[in-house]
Amino acid sequence: MFQKALEGKYAVPAYNFYNMEQRQGIVLGCVESRSPVILQVSGGARKYANPTQLRYMARSAVQMARDAGAGIPIALHLDHGDSFELAKSCIDSGFSSVMLDGSHHSLDENAGLTKRVVDYAHEREVIVKG
């Protein structure tokens, strides 16, 4: 997704969503513009909407785009995850990428936590932003 965007000199939008209606609007807008999209979920949204439900909402977004005649790339991203456990859970449930926000830790603790997430994620071909 990012390689094509670099080569084509365009941006890939990332949108946080909290429910089905928001997700539907995001996907339909991206289908209309033929834009790839990153669907983002915060830790709080994940608790609110339920981890299992979010995973299937993301899968249904892909099918929704296909049904509309646009096979646009759709990624699922954890936005500002704050723990190894949350990042691991998202990775294990199929997220494309995770963002680890360790800013509430000292620099050394933050670096150690980020490395732990990176090691876990990269074994599973998941991208990490720290």
- Which residues are identified as catalytic? 79
| CA atoms of 130 and 34, how far apart (whole Å) | 29
Is residue 67 within a helix (H) or strand (E), and if so which, with residue range? helix 51-67
Contacts for 55-59: CB closer than 8 Å, 24+ residues apart: 55/93, 55/94, 57/17, 57/20, 57/23, 58/94
| Both tokens assigned to 1 | 């997704």
| CA atoms of 55 and 5, how far apart (whole Å) | 25
Q: Which residue has the tokens 């915060």?
A: 42
Give, as one character, the DSSP assignment of residue 50: -
